[in-house]
A and B are shown apart, each in its own frame.
Chain A
Amino acid sequence: MSEQQTYEPRIVAFLCKWCSSAGSDLAGVSRIQYPANATPITVPCTGAISPMYILSAFNKGADGVLVSGCHIGDCHYIEGNYLARRKMHLIMQLIEFIGVEPNRFRMSWVSAAEGGKFAQVITDFVNDLKPLGPQEKLKKAERA
């Protein structure tokens, strides 16, 4: 098998507790299959996601980072996702600016009712990451 076929991107998925984590649960309940590349970290709200988390995940070797939360207007905490939208826009712009493939960072709105969408978001992300190969640019070098 070639490198391309065996390469499995490692994704850190930050999910808000109320919508996207619940949407991911629904994908499970509905047994919708999707690739196992994304490890979820559930946080109270996308508004709680510090840009440092994104940088840190890439620094530790994530091939892709996903941030997923409630649709605009549906935030359990009213405005958390608005604040996240602004912060994530900035971090995404910055990452792209220094020449990292923009497809390595992704943000989505997945409600608690969108199990199918959650599976699709992960599937698409994995498919988009595979051609990019391992993320080496921001990754901490292995110690000799």
Chain B
Amino acid sequence: MSKKRTGVFVCHCGTNIAATVDVAKVAKEMAGENTVAFTQEYVYMCSEPGQESVVQAIKDNKLDSVVVTCCSPNLHEKTFRDNAQRAGINNFTVEIANIREQCSWVHKDKAKGTEKAIKISRSVVRRVNRNKPMDAIAVPVTRRAMVIGGGIAGIQAAIDIGNAGIEVILVEKQATIGGRMLQLSETFPTLDCAQCVMSPKMVEVNRHPKVKVMTYSEVQEVAGSVGNFRVKVFKRSTFVDPDKCKLCDECTEVCPVVVPNEYEHGLTARRAIYIPYAQAIPASFTLDEDACLGLNPVVCGKCKDVCETGAIDYDIRSQTVTEDVGAIVVATGFDLYDQANIPELGGGKIEDVLDGLQFERLCSASGATHGHVLRPSDHKEPKDVVFIQCVGSRDPAKHCAYCSKICCMYTAKHARLYKKHCPDGRAYIFYIDIRSGGKGYEEFVQRTMEDDDTLYLRGRVSRLYRHNGKVRVHGTDTLTGQNVEIDADMVVLALAMVPSKGTAEIAKTLKIGRDKDLFLAEAHPKLRPVESITGGIYLAGAAQAPKDIPETVAQAGAAAAKVIALLSQATLSRSPLIAKVRRSHCTGCGMCVEACPFIAIRLEGGKAIVNEALCEGCGSCSATCLRAAIDVKNVTQLQVYEMIEACLA
């Protein structure tokens, strides 16, 4: 094996690296490495001239491998690998030494920073010395997609993907698609009716020839990887045949079971057999198995008896359906922060203290009060209503550290809607700051503030309790320094948005990460905001972070565009950095077979054999093998050994 000819390219990144790392010294040290044939430093290696100089240097100096010491490989590994290919050498002989995120940005002491940068660079130079040229593995792509979550984000993504001629399966947990947006009355800043916008979308997606809608269904298991996922979906039985159901409502008349209606946030009750909304899609009733007396004609059977079309069938079974898809969009939406965590505001136990979504249902024409704002305790029009913003948000000590982004806007909207319904009422809004960035948003808030009977109070509310049939609100106006006490007929809390219940499970099932606030994590906060860390899985809507409807729709469209781009390729290239067995050292003990999470290794003829289509290159086999007889290509034990040596040289 002839000696390697490695080129080392040291990036200054303007002053991002050069300010705290002596880049000239790094280059000089690397030039002293046995395998390094060429070194160069440049102010912005990723710029056009920087990249050109790399290509040129590879050609001029007959380099066979490259180390670029610069920012995180997540940013420019691909850039420089592409350059290498352009210059005629294999892209897997290029590695990045991260001396920015992991060095220059976190150490101010230049001497120490430089020393560490040299160690990092040297270890990567040694690693590259044993990198093998390799070709990506081509795998065929399944040209179908799945969207998880049937709210506005999921619906939009499904329609966009479907419009590109790609089959989509839209999976929704609830009995109807529509999600949170369907529960809203009007939307800011235009005050157009949410359902008027949403219903046509729901119909469109349901009728779309390329989209298959699966409601009352949940993703159970996901196997495979980008381009070829195999998803198991559990479809719960509704015990009603949607094709036969004529929505006559006879069944609910006779059903003896009454439970709180989750679609109305408990403001009303529903029967065990029910339809979430008049606009529900699929337009069919659902029999709630948990609430029903027993799906048994002997016990009850009233709904079945009364159903003229015979749509109700207690023998319809839940089933698990397996779907093969190439890409997945996760749009599982949000819930409101649990009031039980906020005892000072009643912990959800004080009458006439509502959350924002309950207030939406009060205002909605399809809601419990048919669009009349009446307080739940006595069904009278509330005359003094207190709105409290930032409940559970922006409170790192006790609740959520982040800003839920939409509460300023929807609280302003709530005040406006309230004033429309009760023109002689008074609205009080407790706020910390007003955040109204967005097209037409600031004007909307200003108009709300201009109302004489809407009073914005800057400050927090410390306590809520029932007092003489009203809700006593203790707060502070920090602008005047006065304590404020209001006896309100109704209080509306703008609770923080949190990832919807089940986000943790879906993240685990899909092997995608979550961020510190437990929302689904994007691959890069700026450059890859709709991709998850796992290839082929994309994010849309409030499952990723609090956001409003236009942003959600935009992100859904972006996720759809990513899916379409992915699925328009005939084959995908898979990383060839997978496990390889040294047959001479393998004793066939089978520990690697046991350790492999992907069932990618088997024993044959007393030796371990790797299934290249299944291996993900995690290296669990390698660390388990007592004989170092199995290695991940280009991250071999020998390479790591030499990196350790370089770190401690």
Are the C-beta atoms of B106 and A52 separated by less than 8 Å?
no
Q: Contact at A57–B644, with CB atoms within 8 Å?
A: yes
Instruction: Please state if A10 and B106 are interface contacts (CB–CB under 8 Å).
Output: no
Q: Give the residues in chain B near A47, CB-CB below 8 Å.
A: 595, 618-620, 623
Tell me the smallest distance from the CB of A99 to a CB of chain B, in Å.
22
Pairwise interchain contact B113-A44, C-beta atoms closer than 8 A: no
**Given A18-B533, A44-B617, A44-B632, are A62 and B623 also a contact pair (CB < 8 Å)?**
no
Stretch binding the partner chain, chosen from B286-294, B429-437, B508-516: B508-516
CA distance A24 to B620 in the complex (A): 22
Q: Is the CB of B516 within 8 A of A50?
A: no
Checking A42, A61, A73, A83 against B624 with a beta-carbon cut-off of 8 angstroms, the contacting residue is A83
User: Contacts A113-B514, A113-B515 hold; do A43 and B107 have CB atoms under 8 A apart?
Assistant: no
> A112, B513: Cβ atoms under 8 Å?
yes
* Contact B119–A77 (Cβ < 8 Å): no
**List of B residues within 8 angstroms of A76 by Cβ:** 511, 533-534, 618
In whole angstroms, what is the CA distance A111 to B595 when docked?
Answer: 23
Q: Does B180 contact A (CB under 8 A)?
A: no
Q: Contact between B620 and A45 (Cβ–Cβ < 8 Å)?
A: yes
Q: A43-B640, A60-B645 are in contact. Are A31 and B623 (CB under 8 A)?
A: no
Least distance between B454 CB and chain A CB atoms (Å)? 39
A residues 98-116 touching B (CB-CB < 8 Å): 111-114
Q: Are the C-beta atoms of B112 and A40 separated by less than 8 Å? A: no
A9 → chain B closest CB, angstroms: 12
Cβ of B597 within 8 Å of any chain A Cβ, yes or no, is yes
Shortest distance between the CB of B490 and any CB in chain A (Å): 38
Q: Is the Cβ of B644 less than 8 Å from the Cβ of A36?
A: no
Give the residues in chain A near B640, CB-CB below 8 Å: 41, 43, 50, 53
* Contact A12 B533, beta carbon cutoff 8 Å: no
Q: A31-B106, A36-B116, A39-B123 are in contact. Are A44 and B648 (CB under 8 A)?
A: no
In the bound assembly, the distance between CA atoms of A84 and B618 in angstroms comes to 12
Residues of A within 8 A of B577 (CB): 44
Determine the distance from Cα of A24 to Cα of B151 in the docked complex, in whole angstroms. 35
Does A4 have its Cβ within 8 Å of any Cβ on chain B? no
Cβ of A78 < 8 Å from any Cβ of B? Answer: yes
Are A57's CB and B648's CB within 8 A? yes
In the complex the two chains form, is B516's CB within 8 Å of A60's CB?
no
Smallest beta-carbon distance B368→chain A, Å: 39
Task: List residues of chain B with CB within 8 A of the CB of A34.
Answer: 106-107
Report Cα–Cα, A31/B108, bound state, in Å. Answer: 10
Interface of chain B residues 577 through 626 with chain A (CB within 8 A): 577, 595, 597-598, 616-620, 622-624
- Indicate the member of B115, B511, B618, B628 with the most A CB atoms within 10 Å: B618
Could you tell me if B597 and A50 are in contact, using CB atoms closer than 8 angstroms?
no
B480 close to A (CB within 8 Å) = no
Q: What B residues does A84 contact at CB under 8 A?
A: 623
Cβ 8 A contact of B123, one of A21, A41, A48, A70: A41
Contact B648 A40 (CB under 8 A): no
Q: Does B101 contact A (CB under 8 A)?
A: yes
With known contacts A12-B647, A60-B645, A113-B514, A40–B120 Cβ distance under 8 A = yes
**Which residues of chain A have C-beta atoms less than 8 A from B119's C-beta?**
39
* Chain B residues whose C-beta falls within 8 Å of the C-beta of A83 in the assembled complex: 595, 620, 623-624
- Find out whether the CB atom of B618 lies under 8 angstroms from the CB atom of A45: yes
Inter-chain contacts of B115 with A (CB < 8 A): 36
B98 within 8 A of A: yes
Report the bound CA distance from A28 to B105 in whole Å: 5
Once the chains bind, are A48 and B620 in contact (CB under 8 Å)? yes
Known: A39-B116, A39-B120, A41-B643. A28 touches B101 (CB 8 A): yes
Is B2 engaged at the interface, CB distance under 8 Å to the other chain?
A: no
Q: A41 near B647 (CB under 8 angstroms)?
A: yes
**Which residues on the B side are within 8 Å of A45 (C-beta)?**
618-620
Chain A residues with CB under 8 Å of B106's CB are: 27-28, 31-34, 36, 119
Partner of A87, one of B98, B123, B623: B623
The listed residue with most B CB atoms (<10 A of its CB), out of A27, A31, A50, is A50
Contact of A79 among B100, B597, B619 (CB under 8 A): B597
Interface string of A2-35 (1 = CB under 8 A from B): 0000001010100000110110111111011111
User: What is the 8 Å Cβ interface bit string for chain A, positions 45-75, against chain B (1 contact, 0 not)?
Assistant: 1011111110011001110000000100110
What residues of chain A lie closer than 8 Å to B107, measured between beta carbons? Answer: 33-36
Partner of B632, one of A18, A48, A73, A111: A48
- Shortest Cβ gap from A66 to chain B (Å): 12
Contact A50 B620 (CB under 8 A): no
- By a CB distance below 8 angstroms, the chain A residues around B513 are 18-19, 70, 74, 111-113
How many angstroms from the CA of A74 to the CA of B100 in the assembled complex?
26
A52 touches B514 (CB 8 A): no
Q: Is B102 interfacial (CB 8 A cutoff)?
A: yes
Provided the pairs A25-B102, A36-B113, A48-B623 are in contact, do residues A56 and B644 lie with their beta carbons within 8 angstroms?
Answer: yes
Q: Which residue of B lies closest to A76 (CB)?
A: B511
Q: Does B637 contact A (CB under 8 A)?
A: yes
Cβ of B31 within 8 Å of any chain A Cβ, yes or no, is: no
Is B103 engaged at the interface, CB distance under 8 Å to the other chain? yes
Residues on the A chain within 8 Å of B595, using CB:
47, 83
- B109 close to chain A: CB less than 8 A: yes
B74 lies within 8 A of chain A by Cβ: yes
Closest to A122 in B: B106
**CB nearest to B648 among chain A residues:** A60
CA distance A12 to B120 in the complex (A): 11
Interface-centre pick from A34, A41, A83, A111 (highest chain B CB count, 10 A): A41
Q: How close is A52's CB to chain B, nearest CB, in angstroms?
A: 7
Is B100's CB under 8 angstroms from A80's CB? no
Set of chain B residues within 8 Å of A35, measured between Cβ atoms = 107, 112
Residues of A close to B617: CB separation below 8 A: 44
Confirm or deny: B539 has a beta carbon within 8 angstroms of a beta carbon on chain A: no
Query: Which residues of A sit under 8 angstroms from B554, Cβ to Cβ?
Result: none
Residues in A lying within 8 Å of B, measured CB to CB? 8, 10, 12, 18-19, 21-22, 24-29, 31-36, 39-45, 47-53, 56-57, 60-62, 70, 73-74, 76-80, 83-84, 87, 111-114, 119
A and B contact pairs by CB, cutoff 8 A, 28 listed: A25-B72, A27-B101, A28-B101, A28-B105, A28-B106, A34-B106, A35-B107, A36-B103, A36-B115, A39-B647, A41-B644, A43-B619, A44-B577, A44-B632, A45-B619, A50-B628, A50-B640, A52-B637, A53-B640, A53-B641, A62-B644, A78-B511, A80-B618, A83-B620, A84-B623, A111-B513, A112-B515, A112-B533
The 8 closest A-B pairs by CB, nearest first: A48-B619, A28-B101, A77-B618, A47-B620, A28-B105, A36-B112, A25-B101, A39-B647
- 5 new A-B contacts at CB < 8 Å, known A12-B647, A48-B618: A28-B100, A39-B647, A48-B632, A53-B641, A112-B533
